[in-house]
Each structure stands twice: as C-alpha cells, then as structure tokens.
Structure 1
Amino acid sequence: MGIGGIGLSAFARILKARGFTVSGCDSAASELTRQLVQEGIEVSVGHGASHLTGVDVLIASEAVERDHPEIAAARAAGTEVRPRMALLSELLLSGPSVGVVGTHGKTTTTSMIAVAMYGAGLDPAAFVGGIIPQFGSNARAGQGPFVAEIDESDQAFQSLRCQTAVFLNADDDHIGTPGKSQAVYWETVEEQHAAFGRFVGQAQQVLYCHDWPGLPEFLGAGQVALGYGVQEGADYRATELRPDPEGTSFTVTFRGEVLGQARVAMPGLHNVQNALAALATTHLYGGEFVHAAAALAEFGGPRRRWERVGSLDGAIIIDDYAHNAAKVAAVVGAARQTGRRVRIVFQPHRYLRTQQSWPRLADSLMPADEVILLDIASAGEDVIVGIDSTLIAHRMYEQGHRGIHYLPAQGQALAYLRGSVQPGDVIVTVGAGDVWKIGRELAGVPF
C-alpha cells in the first residue's frame, strides 16, 4: 500500500527483481506508478480488500492508518501485515550491507555510493529516496553490497542492523508533537539522537563524517570506526580542494597515503564530503579507486538534489529538495560557488518545522543575492496561527538584506522571474513541496 511513494516503489522494484510476485495500490496514479506498470508490477488506483486475493504479505507505508479497512481486511484474512522497516531489516541482514544515516545528505550520498561501487566493478543493490539518473530508478537489484538510505523520521530505524553504517551528521530535523499530524516526528532532539546512537552502535563498523562535531560520541565502546572529511585527523581525507563553477576537484588520502584524484560535478563543500564518503565506502569494500572516482566525476546528482533543470535567457536553473536550515545553507553555498548572481526561490516546508526553525532558515538564506519566498507547503499539517513566510522575510530585512520578495503564489514568482532574469543568474528553486514546478516552467520543461 502506498506503492507510488518513493520508498515503497523502491521496495517493489527490488522484490520483483529477486523473484517475488509484487502488486500494489495507491490513492492516485502518477508518473511513478505508470513506470511500475511498464516494469510488470500490477498497480491499482484506490484501496480495497479485493487487492488481497492471493497475497501472502501486505507491506504498508507509514502514511497509511493502522486501522485502514484494507489493513483490517488483511489481518482478518490472516495475511501478514509487515511494516516497511521490517522489510528493510531483512534486506540489510541478507548479506553485506551499508546503511546511510543522518539528517541531511542521505539521498545524495547513498546514490553516490551505489554509482561509485558500480563504476568500480562491484554489483551493488540500492534502495534510495530519489531517482538515480545512471540507473533510471530509485532502486538497483545487484548481488551486493546492499546500500540503503535510512529514514530517521521513522522511529523504527533504530532497530535496524547493517554491516557498515555511514553516519553523515546529526541535526535536529523531524522533531515534532506526537499525537498530532506530525506523529512520525520525534518528541525531542535528545530522543532522536539516542536513536542515532542505537543504530550506529549496532553496526559492525562505522564510517562517520570527521568534520561534523560530536559524531564520535555516538559510537559504541571499542567500535570499529573510520572518519572521513576535509579536516586534519580524518582517516579518509579530501585535500587540495580546487573548486570551480561546476564542481570541485580534490586529492583523496587514506591515513596519509594518496589514493588518487577525484572530482564531484556539483558545487559545495557538502558535496565534496558526500563524494568522499562514497569513495571511502567503495574502498572499504575493495572497489578500484580510479574507476570509482571516474564514475563519480560523471555523476550529476539524483533528481531534486542540485538538479540542473535547464536555462532561460542565459540564466541556469537548478532545483533542490533542501528544506531544513543546514541543507538550505549548503545549497546557497553551492550556488555562490558558481560565481553567478544567486537567486533563491524558497518554499518553507511544514508549519511545525517553520515554527521551530524560521530564524535559522532566514540566516541560511542571507548569503543569497536575492530571495523569493513562497507560502509554506503544509504537507498535510494543520495551519499554526502566526507562522508564515513573512517571519523569515522580516528577520532577513532586519539583518540588512534588501533583496527579499514575499510572493506567496507561484504565478507571482514566475512572472517576476521572467521579467527580471539576467544571463549571469543562477536561479535555484528550494524546498520539499511543489516549488520545483517553477523551475520547470521557467525552463520550458514539461512535467
């Protein structure tokens, strides 16, 4: 159930490739469900007990209520109802596995690991929360290692066990109020970080970002762990960074020994760190460094992660899924590396997240030359009175920024951008809602 979601569709593809008969349903058809049908997976629109005929196991998205009539019918019929994390656990335990965890960068890094391993001659299986252009899918059905993006918004992630945990960072995203529409969120950041510690502590070995403060504190006593980063002391280190408008070239060392030269074709220091994590993971699993580095140099990112959408009158148009302050800051930094006038179209995501972090969101946007603020994308949450995008605008103005425009409707933003575009611009649509449509409209890309 919920097969049209980015996670459940990846499970469907992997299971079908492993020889299972897979079907699914969702509330509406989409491009993704149509692709699944073309791949031989039966998809029904809507929900109903008739879908359960001949079904041994029902896997349900967390977005589906546990008392949903279809789930109730499955239980009444004796059909096993399995949470998606239980399925992910089985896949991780079925052989050599890599679990990528953290509050941001998971999709990009998981994709990079899969691409680097494949380029290095390994045969990875992959479970990713985004579409990897090289594979044309959010999943890959190789013999292994199995590389999986681990979603920390699902509290069951802490019970998962993998061979190698790749630990990117630990911020305070997905903190909410249980019992309301944000029920999948953590009650406190301390509770969430304790779960990170449990997940990481259960891995056979950990590869962690040496540049992110405090990550070693999450490790278990005596646990095998290696750090990666640009700072001194990292086991895997990126040195001699050579940034340019399209990305960054760098040297990779392992405990002082040069492994070779690498390049990431996306700007921003965070993408150097992500690429280094991928190269380090591939090295740990015996992949040829030079081939892994060559594959990464050709990787332009998964969809909606610094995705180059097109151009308009000499301006380049980028789209990115960033929706918390750290991610937004990284995207703005990447845009600055291009050397162009940075114009950010930002759509805050969820009322609760905005209530918790609007000052940090404002601060993360300050380095942009211009910021166009849309209304909040609710993602199904109830409106919180007094919380809106003008909070961000007012704070930025108070701190001296004079390039802020509150244009709540997408049509307003489109009209303004079309009338003011310059050849030296980089226009970046940023957010987890439907802000991506603006970039495609500007570039004339169908969707």
Structure 2
Amino acid sequence: MHRAAVPVVPAAPVPAPAPATVASAPAAQTPGHRPRGLRFGANYTPTRGWFHHWLDFDLDEVKADLDSIAALGLDHVRVFPLWPLFQPNRTLIRPRAVEQLVELADAAGERGLDVAVDGLQGHLSSFDFLPAWTRTWHRRNIFDDPEVVAGQEEYLRTLAAALADRPHFLGMTVGNEINQFSDDPHPDPDRITREQADRWLERMLAACERGAPGKFHLHAEYDAAWYQDGHPFTVAQAARLGAATAVHSWVFNGTAQRHGRTGTATEHHAAYMIEMSKAWATDPHRPVWLQEVGAPAPLILPAHAAAFTEATVANALDCPDLWGVTWWCSHDVGRELADFPELEYGLGLLTNDRTTKPAGESVARIAKEWRGREHRPPVRSTALVADVGGALAAPRRSVCAPGGAFFEAWAVLAARGVRPAVVLADHAEDRAHLAARGITEVLHVADVH
C-alpha cells in the first residue's frame, strides 16, 4: 500500500474533447451483469516479523496466522514475497524461497483459503524493496532496461509455475502498487512514458500466463493512475489489461480530510473507484477486485473502524460485477518494529496476538451473510460524465481526484441516493456503449447543483 498522498487539485469543468474511437460492447447485449458469488479475504501480514518473516520463515507461525484468518470465515489471502529476498541476483531466483512460498500456499489451501500472489515487492507500507542489481552502482530503470525486464519476467514466470498445479492458487498480481516507482512523489523515480508502461505491463502479464496458464493474473496500481495528471500508469491499463481490474481505495488521499470519516465521499470512495474503473473497461461486465481497502487512523479512529468498514463494504457491494473484497490487512504490525507511519500499526482485522478486532468481526459477519448468495445489485442506470481529455492518456484526470469537479459532483449525487455510474466523455453519446451498460440517463457536472 502506498503512503504518499496524491496532491488534491480542485478542478473546474473543461470543454468536451472530440469523440474518440474506442471499443465497446455490441448494442444487442443485455444490460446487467453476470451473477457470481462474492469473495472475501485479507491481505496477509504475518504476525511475527511482518514481511521480514521470509528471512526467518516459520511454517508453524504461518499456520497459526492462517488459522486465525480462516476462523473469520474468509476464503482467500493475498500474499507478498519480498522481491530482493527471492531474486537477490538477476540470474538467481532462490529455490528455497520459492519452496517456502509454496509451503505457505499449501498451508492456506489446507485451511480452505485460496491464494493470490503478488510478485514484484516492490513497495509495502512506505518501504521500498528493490534488489541491489537495480540500484546505486547498478542503477537501471526497472520498467525499460532490457536485462532488468527479462529478469522480472523470469521471476514472475517462476513463481507462477511453482504454484500452477495447486487448485487453490488464484493467480499472480504483477506487483503491489509498483507504479509509485515511475513518477512523483517518489524521491528517485524510474520515469517512463505511458506507452512504455503499456509494454511493461503486457510483458509481465504474459510472463505470469506462461508460468500458470489460465489463472487469474492481473496488475495493481495506487490511485495516481486514477487521479494524477501525466502519470504513466492509467485507468485504461487497469481496466483493460489482465483478468480483472484491481482497485486500491485509501481515503487518506484527501477524501477523508475534506469530507470527514462519515462523509458520503469517504464511505463511498471504494465504490467510486469501482465505478470509475468500469467507465474505462471495454468489457461492460469485467470483474473488479477491491484488492486493498482499510481504515486508516487517525482519519478513521479505532473506535470508528468497524462502522467505516461496514459502510465501505456495503457501498462496494452495491456495484455490479464486483469480484470480491480483500481487506488491508489481516493482522496488525507489531510495535517492536520501527519507523512505520503510525497508521500502519493498527490496520489489521486481528491484533498482533491474533485476537479479532471489531472491524474483523464486521468483515466476518458480512462474509457469512454473503456465503452462497448470488451477487446481483441493480444496474446503475444514471451516469455522470467524466471529461478527462481522452480515455487512453487521460491528461485531465485530476478532475476525478478529491476536490476535483467530477469527484465532488459524483459525491453529491451519491448523497442524494442516485447510485451514479461513470461514463467517459468519449462515450457519452455512444448509444451502443450506454445500452451495453444499462445506462438510460446521462448527467454532466454542470447539471449537479
């Protein structure tokens, strides 16, 4: 999860661009969504040593952690190898580290937990984990240096292949918010263009597919892709590349600061990002995975975490085509570990001694209520037009950020109970696109008073 907030830039409406040619679903497609069961899980944060546990891997401790997660009634975990520990040299992917990842995954499967694996870590909770062969004396751009990219491909392929025959292995996520290495506010970014980001993502996803054909492979960015003008990673990439769209929703990005912990924009932020992603998708029923969402203090105090959790999940579940919700995180970070931002220590559904917290009780109750049920919320038939200057580059995407004209107008409509979808200006008059999504009313920011 990313810790540097995207600048909040108030924005005014801008003129509509010329229509763009984009792929859309055929007009004859029936509006609605494909029914599916919802998935509920947690991002696994080990109780002993946090992600440094890979240095002193203890399978008994891992099993105890997984027991406490399974006891909540969750059905999957997302796990995080640390890239420098698994691939300390470009041509060395440590066999024992891979074996330990498989041991962890098998232990999860024994407890009824499916496993999704993030590959390039990359970045976690304000700390960067990059191998020495990409930094200082070996400084190379991790997105476009041919040798680095080839090494990444082999690493992702190797992890995927090691788990490919496990029925409880969901698939790979390329990395955790690795887009933060590509642009400001990172202190030492590896700058690339949008086109280079496209090529890099396509190559990484193809490597995952080579390792484990047919699995649920995707990529995941922090919200600069949604909100930061000029950022090389985009919503179009998130919504069109990979098996599903991953959403990471964090209200410390200016949302909770502006709207308070119970504000509509705060409690609907995850739903907003889900609906934003669907505006860019060429498949109107593409699954969207709320892969990271949490209750960050002090904006959401511990006493209010359960209420925030329930409201956030309920609003996300009101979005069609939601694949599932994976809470950040399973367990609190131990206080014996230094230098984390204060909010990181208390984000768990369980304490560091594996005691369930109120937010954990909320997620457990919701998961139990939805077990075996079909997810079929009503279609969102009213859409608000987002004019970002074009679907692919989205040069004016800051209108969608907290404080931006589009963001604030969407929140006003949500507060009125409208259940707004999002449609790009490119598609606002495309009848086939609107019909495929079941949209019957189109509003503009200027219409919202």
**TM-score category (smaller protein):** under 0.3
Q: Greater share of helix residues, 1 or 2?
A: 2
Normalised by the length of structure 1, the TM-score is: 0.25
Q: Per chain length, whose mean CA-contact separation is higher, i.e. which structure has more relative contact order (CA < 8 Å, sep 6+)? A: 2
Q: Greater share of strand residues, 1 or 2?
A: 1
Q: Which has the larger radius of gyration?
A: 1
Normalised by the length of structure 2, the TM-score is: 0.25
